[in-house]
Structure 1
Amino acid sequence: MKKIYVLHENNEWTIHLQKRLDELSLPYELWHLDEGKIDLSSEPPLGVFYNRISASSHTRDHRYAPEFTEAVLAWLEKHNRIVINGTRALRLEVSKVNQYMALNAAGIATPKTIAAVGKKHIIEAAESLGMDSFITKHNRAGKGQGVQLFHSVQALQDYLDGPLFDDPVDGITLIQQYIKAPEPYIIRHEFINGKFFYAVRVDTSEGFELCPADACSIDDMFCPTDGASSAPKAKFEILTNYRPDFIDAYEAFLADNNVKVAGIEAIQDEDGNVYTYDVNTNTNYNSDAENVAGKFAMLELARYLGSLL
């Protein structure tokens, strides 16, 4: 019997999808790819294969999950299986450099960014960026990993020389233009089957842990925006009557890169300019925000995967 195969490395992030697949009586199987083996001379089973491997897998002691998944995807694609978020999506997931180059090729603005390996070159990159304030982040990250705001090159030097320096798993640190937003929030745009489904306003006043999954917790206290909320509000809020013109560019970008499921994050500066800074191809959804809005992305995703069977 043909099934939906969910390729992943974090059980907590599959629970809501499993619930919806069960609700729709769709046959499925989970492939946990933190480790394993694959006979390259064999043929994969028939079915639909949905890849949701995360760039942050190494933070859960699944260091080689993306590499093993890439091998599995190559095997599936060689045999012409239906793969949702295949090899190209995985390459975008694990490299913000790849993301930015692909976004720029689609005419989508990203913050000015310099990639550097080695502490000496990180400092040189910050100096050449020529900005009073800038942020650093990991090229292969997730969960806001490595995101810190600096207001001087000396502050960056102190961080690099101190005990709190966090070396990226792939060695590449990004030194990036600081986008000062008039209010502390970003907007995450969710896509299913390459089409816009909804947008989530994410409050960043308490930090830069932007993963909307119910299993996530806020443990990073570095924010890309200044200021704080004047009143308590939900961290995640699904927007209504929201479809800016750049959504069409996002959909074209996803089509060009064969990405079917994604969350694309953007921030607006004080002059109204929008910068896109992250593409998540293992996107998660927040149940509290969805219950308020009455829109359920995992249900929509399950229906989409079921239609491909």
Structure 2
Amino acid sequence: MTEKIYILHENDEWTNPLCEALDELEQPYELWHLHEGQFNLMKEPPQGIFYNRMSASSHTRGHRYAPEYTAAILTWLEAHNRKIFNGSRALSLEVSKVAQYLALEAFGIQTPKTIAASGQQHLVEAASQSGLSSFITKHNRAGKGLGVQLFHSVNELEAFVNSSQFEPSIDGITLIQQYIKSPNTSILRYEFVNGKFLYTVKVDTSEGFELCPADSCQIGDQFCPTTSQPKAKFEIVDEGQADLIAKYEAFLKANHIHMAGIECIMDENGGWYTYDVNTNTNYNPQAEAIHGQFGMKEIAKTLQAELLALKEQRSTIK
């Protein structure tokens, strides 16, 4: 059987740009949509290069158990020593902010003060014990800014969690997190391909927390850049701190993460806080076109090189 590139995912629209890039390079690939399916543990996986693009927000598209099923697939692939980009460790961080923050802190990367709680009453108690005058809630298993709400008092939070508006995280864990007020209402998102820094995106957050850079996103938000009259919300900039980038690259290498977007925010005192690692990174086409850099094309080139190396290796063995 001819070796090819396998893309593990649950969202066709987010995957289309990568398919287009692979088509341009005339590379063989196959999509594995992992909303549901089956695989035989007694058989070996096919030969090829595997790229995991499973998203923590899959349940918002009706794919509730896609991450769990993907985790099983990745375990199978890893047991047979297949080459995987963003394997099981990457997935475990994708679906848990708690895991992300602890892993980041291990590399000296500052994250916001955070308390994890399960249960509405414990969430209120966590806010009371935090000592924070302003704080946000956030889903532990999130993506697309799920569950992000700003509160200025525990009473505000208590009224919210006891209302019909409150929606718990899909994994039952909600976070109380220090609110970082940016002096210029923006965040920076560092993009990495094959573990190396690619570029920095400045994102305007003045209109909300749901940040979706994809060409075809599904948050339906008025400020999403894919609406009929998009705003200049995403801009590739020559900003970024070399020491922080070095820490990010070390963090990614140690956690076997190859493709990622890492988001951080500066507070009013000039301190930087990292609050999200997205291992299912998407790119904004308008910003990329202006800057002349294209994340999906770089990923496609990386997969192409690995596939060529695998073919040469197997040819030598034969």
TM-score, length-normalised on structure 1?
A: 0.95
Matched, 1:295 2:296: no
Aligned twin of 1:104: 105
> What's the Cα RMSD here?
1.5
Task: Give the Cα–Cα distance (whole angstroms) in 1 for the partners of residues 241 and 267 of structure 2.
Answer: 18
Aligned twin of 1:141: 142
Task: Give the Cα–Cα distance (whole angstroms) in 1 for the partners of residues 301 and 132 of structure 2.
Answer: 47
1:217 shift after superposition: 5.4
One-letter amino acid matched to 2:242: P
Contact kept? 2:200, 2:239, Cα under 8 Å: no
Aligned twin of 1:50: 51
Contact kept? 2:144, 2:219, Cα under 8 Å: no
1:244 shift after superposition: 3.3
Q: 1:154 to 1:241 in 2, by over 3 A?
A: closer
1:301 shift after superposition: 0.5
Aligned twin of 1:252: 250
1:129 shift after superposition: 0.7
Matched, 1:195 2:196: yes
Matched, 1:277 2:278: no
Task: Give the Cα–Cα distance (whole angstroms) in 1 for the partners of residues 295 and 107 of structure 2.
Answer: 26
Runs of 4+ in 1 over 3 A off after TM superposition: 217-221, 241-244
1:220 shift after superposition: 6.2
SS at match of 1:187: strand
One-letter amino acid matched to 1:125: A
1:218 shift after superposition: 5.5
SS at match of 1:190: strand
One-letter amino acid matched to 2:248: Y
1:205 shift after superposition: 1.0
Q: Structure 1: where are the runs of 5+ without partners?
A: 222-231
Matched, 1:25 2:23: no
Larger deviation: 205-214 or 70-79? 205-214
Aligned-pair identity (%)? 64
Aligned twin of 2:75: 74
Task: Give the Cα–Cα distance (whole angstroms) in 1 for the partners of residues 220 and 84 of structure 2.
Answer: 34
Q: 1:274 to 1:304 in 2, by over 3 A?
A: same
Aligned twin of 1:16: 17
Aligned twin of 1:225: none
Q: Superposed, which structure 2 residues align to 1:125-204 within 5 Å?
A: 125-204=126-205
Q: 1:182 to 1:217 in 2, by over 3 A?
A: farther
SS at match of 1:245: helix
One-letter amino acid matched to 1:172: I
Q: Structure 2: where are the runs of 5+ without partners?
A: 223-229, 308-318
Q: 1:295 to 1:108 in 2, by over 3 A?
A: same
Task: Give the Cα–Cα distance (whole angstroms) in 2 for the partners of residues 177 and 241 of structure 1.
Answer: 25
Q: 1:236 to 1:217 in 2, by over 3 A?
A: farther
TM-score, length-normalised on structure 2?
A: 0.92
One-letter amino acid matched to 2:196: K
One-letter amino acid matched to 2:203: V
